Structure 1
Amino acid sequence: MNMFKTLAIATALCAGVAVQARPLADIQKSGTILLGSEGQYAPFNFFKGKQLTGYEIEVAEAVVKKMGLKFEWKTVGFDALLTGLAQDRWDLVIASHAITEDRSRAVTFTLPHYCSGGIIVSMKPEVAKAADLAGKVVAVQTGTTYLEAVKKVPGVKDVKNFPTDEAARNALASSRVDAWVTDRFVAKEMLAKAPKAGFRTGDMLFVEQVAAAVAKGNQGLADAWNKALKEAIADGTVGAISKKYFQEDVTCK
């Protein structure tokens, strides 16, 4: 979902609390890596009944297997994920975080596991391009890169924040906003599930790389993850997972 946060809170936590992230050797000794995700961002990470699943969940579990480890999942609201990483509540976060300069000051990103971007969704054909957002009220999920992207569009009347993409979508469906900017794959799945709901996708506002994150400076863990991720991409594992959820390869080219 490709999220943007200034991360002042996380940075402050890193600076003000003596927290030591678990290095790779400690994780290997324990045999289990603690993974954090949101669980509310289908098709990337979501609950099917009580089972956490999705593209990112399956990719992460495949990577962990190649690392020779077991995994344990923790799920919290998106805004708390990177802060929890800074507090050493988990070892790695994978929840559609776009790589941004601000985030990179607070965490260490792995290699990207997919590329995507923000797309305009509306109920009217005349709201499809960035220029069409002039004078309009636009919905975005709180904490996402879409917030800053929409703010940069000239003439936007207002940007409304919602705690989840589902809430933002519902605001559009009930005409409380004129448009919604979200991840292009989230929009694609929504249209597939509700083709008669009246939603229309427009132009992409931007493209971005999405990656997992570890505590700032925990390079050993990042390197081990990257090695395993490359192997999972090379042997077709990630491609197969991608096609299962998107009918296309979403890895960065």
Structure 2
Amino acid sequence: MKKSILMAIALVGAIGFQTASARPLDEIQKSGTIVIGTDGTFPPFQYFDGGKLTGFEIDLGNEIAKRMNVKVEWKPMAFDSLLAGLSQDRWDLVIASFGVTPERAKAVDFTNPHYCTGGIIVSTRPDIKSAADLNGKTVSVQTGSTYFEAVQKVPGIKQVRNLSSDNDARNALISGRANAWITDKFVALTAQAKGSQIQGSTHTLYLGNMLFDEEIATAVKKGNSPLLDKYNSVLKDILDDGTYAAISQKWFNEDVRCKGGSTSVATN
């Protein structure tokens, strides 16, 4: 998942923060609590259901914290402020479906990926399937996301609606303010299965081609190697002992771990 991290950092720097939470591993273990920033508006990965934060990444983050012998304090925040907040010491980790990109890796360190996915074209029209079909169309995406970055590389798009959340981007499609919505393929599959409603009317969602593939990982403050190494060790155990597969099956009915190899960006 998921404009320029430098812009986000500049915005956070302009606001300023007084709390400090991005700590070395030994301080986290001594305190007994790890602070994790997340988005909370991106089902089925992290979202609120009846006021409770839930989702695949929430289950995974809770399991990792459990094996680190610490409790989790989740900090839901606007997606495009999360990595900047990490750099400003607001939390220890960010688990929010962040795709690993060279630009982001200049600002934060990424753990090993915890799933692989990609950006997919979604429309209420079955004839909008490929990047070429976006010619002359209005496309909705979430601000700060890799989806926004990807659509900039697609020629001929009439307008990009850059919205604050993925839900807003979806609703722009459903309400007719956009012809297509670019989002995570698993998010799209969930939305398609549930059906999308707005103002009492149900709309069929059609899934088109993938615009790009990406690896999703947890972000750690730059240089916090002990925490990074510990996270990767615990994640490996979860992947190896069947726990990851069980969590993944619960949310997707399949194992969404990365199968190896590199990912690449494509727009056709």
Q: Considering the TM-score relative to the shorter chain, is it more than 0.5?
A: yes
1:220 and 2:219 matched? no
The AA in structure 2 aligned to 1:175 is: G
Is 1:43–1:245's contact at 8 Å kept on the other side of the alignment? Answer: yes
Change (3 A) 1:17 1:31: closer
Off by >2 Å, runs of 4+ in structure 1 = 4-13, 16-21
SS in 2 for 1:115: strand
Q: How does 1:40-189 map to 2 (within 5 A)?
A: 40-189=41-190
Alignment length, in residue pairs?
250
Is 1:140–1:160's contact at 8 Å kept on the other side of the alignment? Answer: yes
Residue matched to 2:210: 204
Post-superposition offset of 1:6: 3.0
The AA in structure 2 aligned to 1:49 is: G
The AA in structure 1 aligned to 2:51 is: K
Residue matched to 1:247: 253
Q: Under a length normalisation based on structure 2, what TM-score does the superposition of the two structures give?
A: 0.88
Residue matched to 1:6: 5
1:191 and 2:197 matched? no
Is 1:108–1:213's contact at 8 Å kept on the other side of the alignment? Answer: yes
Is 1:129–1:203's contact at 8 Å kept on the other side of the alignment? Answer: yes
Is 2:21–2:90's contact at 8 Å kept on the other side of the alignment? Answer: no
Partners in 1 of 2:138 and 2:21 — Cα distance?
Answer: 43
Match of 1:230 among 217, 236, 253: 236
Post-superposition offset of 1:132: 0.6
Post-superposition offset of 1:155: 1.2
Is 2:122–2:181's contact at 8 Å kept on the other side of the alignment? Answer: yes
Post-superposition offset of 1:10: 2.4
Post-superposition offset of 1:9: 4.1
Is 1:112–1:252's contact at 8 Å kept on the other side of the alignment? Answer: yes
After TM superposition, the structure 1 stretch with the greater mean CA deviation from structure 2, 198-207 or 79-88, is 79-88
Q: Under a length normalisation based on structure 1, what TM-score does the superposition of the two structures give?
A: 0.93
Partners in 1 of 2:9 and 2:164 — Cα distance?
Answer: 19
The AA in structure 2 aligned to 1:68 is: N
1:57-77 Cα deviation digits (max 9, x unpaired): 000111111112221111111
Gaps in structure 2 of 5+ consecutive residues: 197-201, 260-268
